[in-house]
Amino acid sequence: EKGRLLFAGPVTFVKGVVAMSGLPPADRIEVCFAGRSNVGKSSLINALTGRKTLARASNTPGRTQEINYFALGDGRAQPEKYLVDLPGYGYAEAPVAIVAKWQALLKQYLSGRQTLRRAFVLVDTRHGVKSVDDEIMQLLDRSAVAFQVVLTKADKVSMAERLATIEQVKGALAKHPAAYPELVVTSSEKGDGIETLRAIVAGLE
């Protein structure tokens, strides 16, 4: 119920950030969506907010190249929370120098943003946790940023595959002190898990 209320309010694009100096003032809490390129970060933000084209999604890995801030309001002058769409890590269809720049920014952001209350680390249900995911999780451990894994694109796999991935991910999370043990299984396409994730975001203070 709380989740539905929060996400029923206005959602606005604030800015795209290309350097740490461009981050908005750290005056409210934020949650971010991290994960390999093409895992479904931008699509998940659209599904959560119920706005199809708020965050730009595409089939080309490397679509999001800036840290995009969205403000989640409840009608008050000061929006309550920021939702942060991140560029992906791992393979991307973009020039190497540009990719290197946004990867460095991504790491600075994930280790140095005081108001970051939780990082959602998205993992494709077809693929499970890969070594690049593990590296990012280690960075979050070192920075003491609490993170929670969200499985994406669950509509693309059978129930048996879904369960196998859940087991693989739980095994991988056991060695990460900053990880929440509970996963959220989602499909931005079909809506699975979206209400659950809204409630989690709404409950963070």
DSSP-derived secondary structure letter, 146: -
Restricted to residues 18-77, the positions that interact with ligand GTP (CB under 6 A) are 35, 37-43, 57-59, 61-64
Separation between Cα atoms, residue 41 and residue 135, nearest integer Å: 18
Nearer to ligand GTP, 23 or 39 (CB): 39
Separation between Cα atoms, residue 184 and residue 155, nearest integer Å: 14
- Residues forming contacts to Mg ion in the complex (CB under 5 A) are 41-42, 63-64
Instruction: Give the SS3 label for residue 109.
Output: helix
Across the chain, the runs of DSSP E, i.e. the strands, are: 11-17, 29-35, 67-72, 81-85, 116-124, 147-152, 184-185
Nearer to Mg ion, 41 or 81 (CB): 41
Q: Which residue has the tokens 């140095």?
A: 112
Nearer to ligand GTP, 99 or 178 (CB): 99
Q: In angstroms, what is the minimal distance from the CB of 163 to ligand GTP? A: 18
Nearer to Mg ion, 7 or 89 (CB): 89
Pairing of strands 116-124, 29-35: parallel
Instruction: Count the residues of the shown chain that bind ligand GTP, applying the rule CB under 6 A.
Output: 24
Task: Return the one option of ligand GTP, Mg ion, none that residue 153 interacts with (CB less than 5 to 8 A, by type).
Answer: ligand GTP
Residue among 200, 189, 193 nearest 43 (CA): 189
Give me the residue whose beta carbon is nearest to ligand GTP: 88
Task: Return the one option of Mg ion, ligand GTP, none that residue 142 interacts with (CB less than 5 to 8 A, by type).
Answer: none
Q: Interacting stretch for ligand GTP, rule CB under 6 A, among 10-18, 22-30, 70-78, 149-157?
A: 149-157
- C-alpha distances in Å from residue 28, one per residue of 25, 71, 109: 8, 10, 16
Task: Return the one option of ligand GTP, Mg ion, none that residue 138 interacts with (CB less than 5 to 8 A, by type).
Answer: none
- Under the binding rule (CB under 6 A), the answer on residue 156 touching ligand GTP is yes
The partner residues of 83 in beta bridges, in order of sequence, read 31, 70
Q: Which residue has the tokens 């720049």?
A: 101
Nearer to ligand GTP, 137 or 177 (CB): 137
Dihedral, 179, 185, 188, 189 alpha carbons, nearest 10: 160
Nearer to ligand GTP, 27 or 125 (CB): 125
Q: Which residues bind ligand GTP (CB under 6 A)?
A: 35, 37-43, 57-59, 61-64, 87-88, 152-153, 155-156, 187-189
